[in-house]
Chains A and B, each alone.
Chain A
């Protein structure tokens, strides 16, 4: 029971750090003004165009595709698999009476999510390989850059282990997760794979708001990508720059 209690506590702490940390960061991004129009041109001239540009950026990694095909293919495979794996995991966090259940429990969601784990490993190995073998990428890599890949690799590998090597008691595991959600703590199966998997996921959530994983919210706030190219048509003025003008007039 003590191990279950520890994991219960760990997850609550991790969730609080993740939500509060990320929330604070996003609010900082949202509140900091962008005083000048700096979209990388050619840029869309309408709001609708900006939404499309951002969509292509977030879904297809358009700029990275232009930049480097290898990084793009490994990076895209990794992120797409991550999304598929995430969908698959939703079934462990909802009861069958949930309105999303029919979607989440679909065979296609479940099996794609299951095998996506392998694709994720391929993507991660590719990204790791570039860090080791391309001299330019090796030069710019810090220990944290390698460790982040290793962390996510370990999460994916331990997850695959439970699907294909040593099954955990999935019914108890689901009870544990639902217990977390409904503040009704339940025991956690104690086989090593599930402990490793969940422990590392909690760690990932904890470091998310203080690491380069901030690229996830960051991309939406990047002025070179989210600004409309209309500086001649519409005057763009930040609050602090407007103050420079008021000070002169008074």
Chain B
């Protein structure tokens, strides 16, 4: 299967002793010229790359307060050292959040601080060399920007911000990551990460309509580019064909159908995910986000709702208004945007949906809090709504729900191991190893409560789990979409 060993799930979670350099070989494929140009990045490593890198770092220090404060404030207390799933799964000390930050901080200190300029050895400052750049490329692509470390840092230092900055600098000198940059280029050209053009999309959605009709006898519609629809649904393109994502999409359609809502998908903005965030590029993130604004204006919708996607929900909830707002042309009675779970939860609370929980009796469920939903967004009006609302939707759809260990859910949730631009086959080893903490917590509820399925609300989590679960002795079919459960339980009425 692979030329690495899957870590062993221990009876109790343990903090490994450090093993230096064991993941130094992990590097994703480097982006080609053809994927760099559309994003505005040089196609290969520049001759004067050191100067460009330092200049870029200086520019970013003036644009991002977080970066400046985070680089200055760390006292090396060590509270974050055992919090990263990649460290717990690999034992490589450079996967400890503080050590990952230090890869960038030691260069910052050398060029931008008094102590680093005059006493480099004392404070661990180094020149920007090719070796340092190689280390950056390796280890800043072993961070899924999940923000777990930032929860435990006394100064709130967020390694995700540091990783994004490092990737932005690497792009600026011409060393981009193929997976992310190729995908962003595809969004610019076609409208989604998978490169599904409008006809293919239309075909897929018609196929879904036929399947659902055959399955339920009810003509649920999956509309595309319908002008004048009330709701624009923006969902990750994986929802259009991947398993179990597509079962979630079927579920959204059934919920809209049951609510009698008028809705549409847009072929122009047929992607919820925004990989501009992964590479730390405000400009590219903004360009991708503006497609959603354009689609909303073009179709004349009143509301925007996002499908199940973790990092997408972060960009949608936290950044969309900033990047592509103001949304004063939409119906002011609804938040912009809304999450599909908020929408379904609202209907459930109003008693507008009929649910037959026994339809999911063949499953005993637990819920994986997706990292960026948990620690970088909210649902509903109250802090923590992002934990409550998906669980309420699940509990309304099934009879058997059990949470995993308290240290591994809510704000302490572990990343699936594939987030932040790492969901690519050339990073399989780090993905498998990074899934260890989540797999350990899952195994515990499997043994204690007979849990059979793991529900998630993120396209990356779903793809990642269906790929890595077999490494840990589970089956790929044990990961399900939350709206797949809704889809199974919802009772549709022909008259609607």
Asked whether, in the complex, the Cβ of B77 is within 8 Å of the Cβ of A63, the reply is: no
Assess A236 versus B154: contact at CB under 8 Å? Given A67-B79, A142-B124.
Answer: no
**B121 at the A/B interface (Cβ < 8 Å)?**
yes
Chain A proximity of B157: nearest CB distance (Å): 7
**In the complex, chain B residues whose CB is within 8 Å of the CB of A33:** 63-65
Q: Which of A42, A215, A244 contacts B383 (CB 8 A)?
A: A42
**A223 at the A/B interface (Cβ < 8 Å)?**
yes
**In the complex, chain A residues whose CB is within 8 Å of the CB of B74:** 212, 215
Asked whether, in the complex, the Cβ of B63 is within 8 Å of the Cβ of A240, the reply is: yes
Asked whether, in the complex, the Cβ of B152 is within 8 Å of the Cβ of A64, the reply is: yes
Give chain B interface residues in 153-184, CB to chain A under 8 Å: 153-158, 161
Asked whether, in the complex, the Cβ of B72 is within 8 Å of the Cβ of A25, the reply is: yes
Assess A211 versus B73: contact at CB under 8 Å? Given A67-B152, A136-B82.
Answer: no
Give chain B interface residues in 63-105, CB to chain A under 8 Å: 63-66, 68-70, 72-83, 93, 96, 98-99, 102
Chain B proximity of A212: nearest CB distance (Å): 5
Q: Which of A28, A68, A142, A238 contacts B78 (CB 8 A)?
A: A68
In the assembled complex, the Cα of A38 lies from the Cα of B372 at a distance in Å of: 11
Classify the interface of chain A: helix, strand, loop or mixed.
Answer: helix
Give chain B interface residues in 365-390, CB to chain A under 8 Å: 374-378, 381-384, 386-387
Asked whether, in the complex, the Cβ of B121 is within 8 Å of the Cβ of A143, the reply is: yes
Asked whether, in the complex, the Cβ of A44 is within 8 Å of the Cβ of B66, the reply is: no
**A163 at the A/B interface (Cβ < 8 Å)?**
no
Asked whether, in the complex, the Cβ of B66 is within 8 Å of the Cβ of A212, the reply is: no
**A97 at the A/B interface (Cβ < 8 Å)?**
no
Assess A136 versus B156: contact at CB under 8 Å? Given A35-B63, A38-B376, A224-B150.
Answer: no
Asked whether, in the complex, the Cβ of B322 is within 8 Å of the Cβ of A241, the reply is: yes
Chain B proximity of A21: nearest CB distance (Å): 9
Asked whether, in the complex, the Cβ of A224 is within 8 Å of the Cβ of B322, the reply is: no
Asked whether, in the complex, the Cβ of B122 is within 8 Å of the Cβ of A231, the reply is: no
Chain B proximity of A123: nearest CB distance (Å): 12
Chain B proximity of A229: nearest CB distance (Å): 6
**A171 at the A/B interface (Cβ < 8 Å)?**
no
Give chain B interface residues in 416-430, CB to chain A under 8 Å: none
**B325 at the A/B interface (Cβ < 8 Å)?**
yes
Asked whether, in the complex, the Cβ of B383 is within 8 Å of the Cβ of A229, the reply is: yes
Chain B proximity of A54: nearest CB distance (Å): 10
Q: Which of B17, B69, B335 contacts A135 (CB 8 A)?
A: B17
Bin chain B's interface residue count.
35 or more
Number of residues from A at the complex interface, CB < 8 A: 65
**In the complex, chain B residues whose CB is within 8 Å of the CB of A41:** 374-378, 383, 386, 411
**B321 at the A/B interface (Cβ < 8 Å)?**
yes
In the assembled complex, the Cα of A29 lies from the Cα of B15 at a distance in Å of: 36
Q: Which of B76, B147, B386 contacts A42 (CB 8 A)?
A: B386
Chain A 123-149 interface 0/1 with B at a Cβ cutoff of 8 Å (1 = within): 000010010001111011111110100
**In the complex, chain A residues whose CB is within 8 Å of the CB of B64:** 32-35
**B113 at the A/B interface (Cβ < 8 Å)?**
yes
Assess A231 versus B318: contact at CB under 8 Å? Given A42-B384, A63-B153, A140-B99.
Answer: yes
Asked whether, in the complex, the Cβ of B318 is within 8 Å of the Cβ of A38, the reply is: yes
Asked whether, in the complex, the Cβ of A38 is within 8 Å of the Cβ of B161, the reply is: yes
Chain A proximity of B23: nearest CB distance (Å): 14
Which of A38, A63, A211, A229 has the most C-beta atoms of chain B within 10 angstroms of its own C-beta?
Answer: A38
Which A-chain residue is minimally distant from B63 (CB atoms)? A240
Q: Which of A34, A38, A64 contacts B77 (CB 8 A)?
A: A64
Q: Which of B66, B150, B317, B387 contacts A231 (CB 8 A)?
A: B317
Q: Which of A28, A37, A229, A241 contacts B282 (CB 8 A)?
A: A241
Asked whether, in the complex, the Cβ of A67 is within 8 Å of the Cβ of B65, the reply is: no
Give chain A interface residues in 68-83, CB to chain B under 8 Å: 68, 71-72, 75
Give chain B interface residues in 99-157, CB to chain A under 8 Å: 99, 102, 113-115, 119, 121-124, 147, 150-157
**In the complex, chain B residues whose CB is within 8 Å of the CB of A249:** none
Asked whether, in the complex, the Cβ of B99 is within 8 Å of the Cβ of A32, the reply is: no
Asked whether, in the complex, the Cβ of A139 is within 8 Å of the Cβ of B79, the reply is: no
Chain A proximity of B222: nearest CB distance (Å): 27
Q: Which of B70, B83, B119 contacts A67 (CB 8 A)?
A: B83
**In the complex, chain B residues whose CB is within 8 Å of the CB of A75:** 77, 154
In the assembled complex, the Cα of A103 lies from the Cα of B481 at a distance in Å of: 62
Asked whether, in the complex, the Cβ of B96 is within 8 Å of the Cβ of A136, the reply is: yes
**In the complex, chain B residues whose CB is within 8 Å of the CB of A136:** 15, 18, 78, 81-82, 93, 96
Asked whether, in the complex, the Cβ of A137 is within 8 Å of the Cβ of B318, the reply is: no
In the assembled complex, the Cα of A33 lies from the Cα of B282 at a distance in Å of: 14
**A95 at the A/B interface (Cβ < 8 Å)?**
no
In the assembled complex, the Cα of A238 lies from the Cα of B147 at a distance in Å of: 23
Asked whether, in the complex, the Cβ of A35 is within 8 Å of the Cβ of B321, the reply is: no
**A43 at the A/B interface (Cβ < 8 Å)?**
yes
Give chain B interface residues in 300-326, CB to chain A under 8 Å: 317-322, 325-326
Asked whether, in the complex, the Cβ of A71 is within 8 Å of the Cβ of B384, the reply is: no
**B355 at the A/B interface (Cβ < 8 Å)?**
no
Q: Which of B93, B161, B321 contacts A232 (CB 8 A)?
A: B321
Asked whether, in the complex, the Cβ of B147 is within 8 Å of the Cβ of A144, the reply is: no
**In the complex, chain B residues whose CB is within 8 Å of the CB of A111:** none
In the assembled complex, the Cα of A130 lies from the Cα of B77 at a distance in Å of: 9
Which A-chain residue is minimally distant from B61 (CB atoms)? A32
Which of A43, A66, A127 has the most C-beta atoms of chain B within 10 angstroms of its own C-beta?
Answer: A66
In the assembled complex, the Cα of A25 lies from the Cα of B115 at a distance in Å of: 14
In the assembled complex, the Cα of A214 lies from the Cα of B75 at a distance in Å of: 9
Chain A 18-49 interface 0/1 with B at a Cβ cutoff of 8 Å (1 = within): 00000001001100111111101111110001
Which A-chain residue is minimally distant from B407 (CB atoms)? A66
**In the complex, chain A residues whose CB is within 8 Å of the CB of B467:** none
**A4 at the A/B interface (Cβ < 8 Å)?**
no
Chain A proximity of B376: nearest CB distance (Å): 6
Asked whether, in the complex, the Cβ of B115 is within 8 Å of the Cβ of A218, the reply is: no
In the assembled complex, the Cα of A72 lies from the Cα of B315 at a distance in Å of: 33
Assess A28 versus B68: contact at CB under 8 Å? Given A142-B124, A231-B317.
Answer: yes
In the assembled complex, the Cα of A45 lies from the Cα of B377 at a distance in Å of: 12
Asked whether, in the complex, the Cβ of A40 is within 8 Å of the Cβ of B147, the reply is: yes
Which of B113, B115, B147, B322 has the most C-beta atoms of chain A within 10 angstroms of its own C-beta?
Answer: B322
21 contacts between A and B (CB under 8 A): A35-B64, A40-B151, A40-B375, A40-B411, A41-B375, A42-B383, A42-B411, A45-B378, A64-B154, A68-B77, A68-B79, A68-B152, A144-B122, A212-B73, A212-B76, A215-B75, A221-B69, A222-B157, A223-B66, A224-B66, A235-B321
Closest 7 CB pairs of A and B: A67-B152, A67-B79, A218-B73, A224-B156, A42-B383, A142-B124, A137-B78
A residues in contact (CB < 8 Å) with B: 25, 28-29, 32-38, 40-45, 49, 57, 61, 63-64, 66-68, 71-72, 75, 127, 130, 134-137, 139-145, 147, 207, 210-212, 214-215, 218-219, 221-225, 229, 231-233, 235-238, 240-241, 244
